[in-house]
Structure 1
């Protein structure tokens, strides 16, 4: 099972994607006030869906979430596979690839971050690849992909520290997903 999250998308494309057997869900994006460390509370997860499904300890287990974005930082604690007392299971029927590059060395993928690829060839060929900020690698050049992936699938209870200031703990909406 996979969840495909897409930014603003027209209804025709959303409808077409939602009918494909590989796609479990298509969600149209909408704007809300940014409060990443409080999103689980905003959505009512600690008292609602999480508790009904066994708590954050199992929320998302067995689901592999796929993202198409700027890349991912495999060193981010949201994607560590040794954070909980229960190790991540090898996902059933997952056939993804962990592409190795200079910026994304062997070992970047683990049981939490199970696959990563880059698709820079077209941008390079078309002359629109910005090598000063982008990578021909799964590594995230600007942090957007890492942020987006951690909001959906990041580990639970990750301290958010910026310039020495603690802004609470963050959690992905499906912290046991991969």
Structure 2
């Protein structure tokens, strides 16, 4: 099997890119106040969650639709949602997309300026989101989070949760084997992922592992590929991407904000516990390694 690409830590393997987010924004809302969700200004519920009373990272969702969902409702800004303009895929580089992303960025700047006046003059977003989600990640106290929810542009405020890496049974759980051999594809040919770019968000990747080696038979990434091979930020041993492992990114800022210091081995896309490399090799590693 030759799978073209993986994405971890954000790893993209041909079937590769790598990102190492130890903390990610996972929705945990179950309809209760204690779930960590504070509804925004246009909603009925402004109460603080009953748990998590310490400061933490909060995901702020803003009212305008993200790039992938915008249908052209704002005068002077054309639609970007693919089905709305007769396209099959989102084109993030089109003139319409660039114009709408600038609109989202400007609105986020306005919200940030308002928050600096109201709660903290030194407030700086940890992350800003525009493509699939419109919002920001901020370090806030619960009281500040409730105040953020009162701003008209804010739809919701969701506390970020630290999640542990636990599963190693996914292929059997989702019956992946039946897709590989064709027995579960309804008459369509089986596939092992040839020609697919796979994106994996996990603990990182060990680029030198044989599962991710480029043996010279893989084609170059397509022209539309826009991923990155982000070098380490800690002075540790670097790594290179290839036509197999085509991108590596890491997102540790929210985790470091929680932990006050980084206690992992690497501040990079390099895997420090093996989980990410394991799952990436299952999804898109070289055969028989």
TM-score interval for Structure 1 and Structure 2 normalised by the shorter chain? 0.5 to 0.7
TM-score by length of 1: 0.55
Q: Residue 271 of structure 2 aligns with which residue?
A: 140
Superposed, 1:103-122 pairs within 5 Å as 103=236, 105-107=238-240, 109-122=241-254
SS at structure 1 position matched to 2:281: helix
Q: Deviations over 1:38-63 (max 9, x none)?
A: 99x982434646xx64x77xx32332
Q: Which residue of 1 aligns with 2:202?
A: 69
Alignment of 1:16-27 (within 5 A): none
Aligned residue in 2 for 1:161:
none
Which consecutive residues of structure 2, in runs of 5 or more, have no partner in the other structure? 8-25, 31-67, 70-88, 91-165
Kindly report which structure 2 residues correspond to 1:158-173, keeping only aligned pairs within 5 A, or say none.
Answer: 158=289
1:3 to partner: Cα distance: 9.7
The number of residue pairs the alignment matches comes to 135
TM-score by length of 2: 0.36
2:222 to 71, 91, 97: 91
Of the candidates 176, 193, 211, which is equivalent to residue 60 of structure 1? Answer: 193
Higher relative contact order (CA 8 A, sep 6+): 2
Cα distance between partner residues in 2 of 1:115 and 1:124 = 23
Equivalent residue, structure 2, for 1:174 = none
Distance 1:32 1:92, change over 3 A: same
> Alignment RMSD, CA only?
4.3
Are residues 1:125 and 2:257 paired?
A: yes
- 1: CA distance, partners of 2:6 / 2:211: 18
Q: Which has the larger radius of gyration?
A: 2
- How far apart, in 2, do the equivalents of 1:47 and 1:72 lie? 29
